[in-house]
Chain A
Amino acid sequence: MSSADRIFEEYAAAFRDGKSDPRPYLEQASEDEREDLMEMIDLFLLRAERAEWDPDAFRGSDAERMSELLAERLLVPDGGWSEMLPRMRMRLGIKRAQVVTALARSLKAGGSDEVEKVGDYYNDMEHGNLRAAGVSRPVLESIAEIYGTTIEALRRAGEATVPTSGAGGPVYARSVDAVEQDLGMASPEPAFSRIKGEPDRIDRFFTDPDFEG
């Protein structure tokens, strides 16, 4: 038996005993045998079973600290609304038109023009092309209800929203931008807005965060 084999067996026993750090064992190996030992340990670890849940060992451990950091980050979807909304819709197995119908009903949109506009705005949301901070509470409440989520989760995702490729460009509320311009902190003038003339109530639902309908 080579000394690498012996050290490997010692490491495996130590790992099963809860001591997983391989470095002290690698240090024991001669330079010639270190690479071989590393590979044996790697093969052993590739075959290792997942650890059984142990709540007592978890409390106060590195795993707990890492979980807290990760959970915070995982709560935010990578692409924000453009990732979250289509995924939730697909999970429910419903079409965008069905979501729009439910949303339009909840916002009491009257007539085909208003329903169509709700559809346009919702489409903007799914493509990450609507400024999340401008969307009113009734819209978020309605979407949260449709998808069985919370307003907070929608807001969190909204903040992380990025436009999907090929989308038409962001839709902004001119009024909010004007405020930002006045404060000297505005982004460049928006390229596109659905608001024609005075904003109507559908525009306000999607571009005025304080609008209650």
Chain B
Amino acid sequence: LKFRPKGENELSRLSDDDLVAYLSAARDAGQGDQVLRATGIFVFSRIEVLKARAKLKIEQDEDVEEIVQDTIEGTLRAAFDGQSPGELFNLMDTVLRRRIADFYMKRERSLSFAGPDPDGNDPLDQYADTEEAIPGLLSRVVLDEQLGLCSDRDRMIIEMKMAAHPSLDIAEKVSGSGLPDSAGMTAANVDQIWRRFKVRVRQPLLEPGSYLDEPPDEPRPGIQT
């Protein structure tokens, strides 16, 4: 089985799955330059979104860098091992949310071990506010599930809202779409559908055990139990 190196342009046009398969084959073939090239294209395609999502929950840039790097490595290694539970993007989303949860658990542990400072202040107190704000990032799997439960009209509204279209524009587009129950749609209707959808996407992640798509072995940071 002869490994056939590909050029940069050809690699950049591959699907995620094909790019990862190529990366795995390049690694097995000992083609370090090809591993570097394919890794570069993969990282470039994802890094900004991953960094932006991590920055929603992590304060320090160096922590964000580390989490993103671990996420990409963890995703690729899991994909090499054939552990991908479906689409690579879903796997990466799961790994990212796990890494962020790990980050908070580690910090909590190290601060707990450190104990109060000489003045009697508990170092955990400074994070009391942020702890509450960390039920984690939203889940792509949950998002897709909830979208699948929507009517065509509501799905159109939500997809446009997620792409940050103004509610008034959405109402006009949906009203003229000919979809069932879409005539006379107003911006207020759009906002109401969007608000309800956001609750439905968030709710499953607030239930104990569902935060990381697997039963937790200990309480997760920010989960109110």
Contacts and interface: CB of A to CB of B under 8 A. Distances in A.
Interface of A: 1, 5, 8-9, 11-13, 15, 20-23, 26, 34-36, 38-48, 50-55, 57-58, 61-64, 66-71, 73-75, 77-78, 83-84, 87-88, 91-92, 144, 147-154, 156
Contacts of A52: 12, 45
Contact of A43 (B77, B80, B143): B143
For the complex, would chain A's binding face be called helix, strand, loop or mixed by DSSP majority? helix
Contacts, number: 168
Nearest to B133: A35
4 pairs of A and B residues whose beta carbons are closest in the complex: A153-B30, A150-B30, A12-B164, A53-B12
Interface residues of B, number: 59
B53 A42 contact: yes
Contacts of B35: 71, 74-75
Interface string B107-138: 00000000000000000000000000100011
Given A53-B8, A73-B73, A22 B47 contact: no
A42 B205 CA distance: 14
B28 A149 contact: yes
A1 B164 CA distance: 12
A148 B52 contact: no
B106 interface: no
A149 B14 CA distance: 23
Interface of B: 1-3, 8-9, 12, 16, 23, 25, 27-32, 35-36, 39-49, 51-53, 55-56, 65, 68-69, 72-73, 76-77, 80-81, 93, 133, 137-138, 140, 143, 159, 162-164, 166-167, 187, 191, 198, 201-202
Contacts of B52: 15, 20-22, 41, 45
Nearest to A43: B162
B43 A63 contact: yes
A20 B69 CA distance: 17
